[in-house]
């Protein structure tokens, strides 16, 4: 399965779960993961129930990791797809002192910080150990 070029440009590819590829947004100011289900369907609510539930289970697993290991108490979740037509799910950690709180991250996250290669690898390892991520 091909991942849309815009998602590849904006993210680090970490691996995959059973149904979704797992990406990490390159802006390290917030823990921002993007899950890309392995499907040609473009809208989350159009997925067959079993597949929709699988995508939501995997998103919930990432949300749990964001809370537990990153210390973010609030999770923003979206399946917008207006710019990138390929179905993808945003799972973003939020807290009152983040750079754009309480506004949404889209269009309000004006600062940027890069992840180091070692930090990306730490996050990948965390997902392997605590989420069953498969590294491709």
CATH classification of the domain holding 28: 3.30.428.10
pTM attached to this predicted model? 0.96
Answer yes or no: is pLDDT of 6 > 90. Answer: yes
Structural domains of the chain, count = 1
Q: CA-CA distance, 3 to 86, in Å (whole number)? A: 8
Provide mean pLDDT across the span 26-42: 97
Structural domain includes residue 69: yes
β strands within the chain, DSSP E: 11-16, 20-25, 32-37, 74-78, 89-94
Structural domain includes residue 136: no
Dump pLDDT digits (tens) for 73-126.
999 999 998 899 999 999 999 999 999 999 999 889 889 999 999 999 999 999
């Amino acid at each position: 399965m091909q991942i849309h070029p815009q998602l590849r440009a904006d993210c680090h590819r970490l691996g995959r779960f059973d149904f979704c590829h797992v990406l990490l947004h390159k802006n390290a100011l917030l823990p921002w993961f993007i899950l890309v289900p392995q499907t040609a369907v473009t809208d989350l609510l159009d997925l067959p129930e079993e597949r929709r539930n699988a995508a939501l289970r995997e998103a919930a697993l990432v949300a749990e990791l964001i809370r537990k290991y990153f210390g973010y108490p609030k999770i923003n979740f979206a399946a917008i797809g207006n710019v990138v037509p390929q179905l993808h799910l945003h799972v973003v950690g939020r807290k009152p002192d983040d750079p754009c709180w309480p506004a949404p991250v889209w269009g309000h996250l004006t600062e940027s910080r890069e992840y180091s290669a070692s930090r990306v690898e730490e996050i990948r390892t965390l997902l392997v150990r605590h989420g069953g991520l498969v590294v491709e």
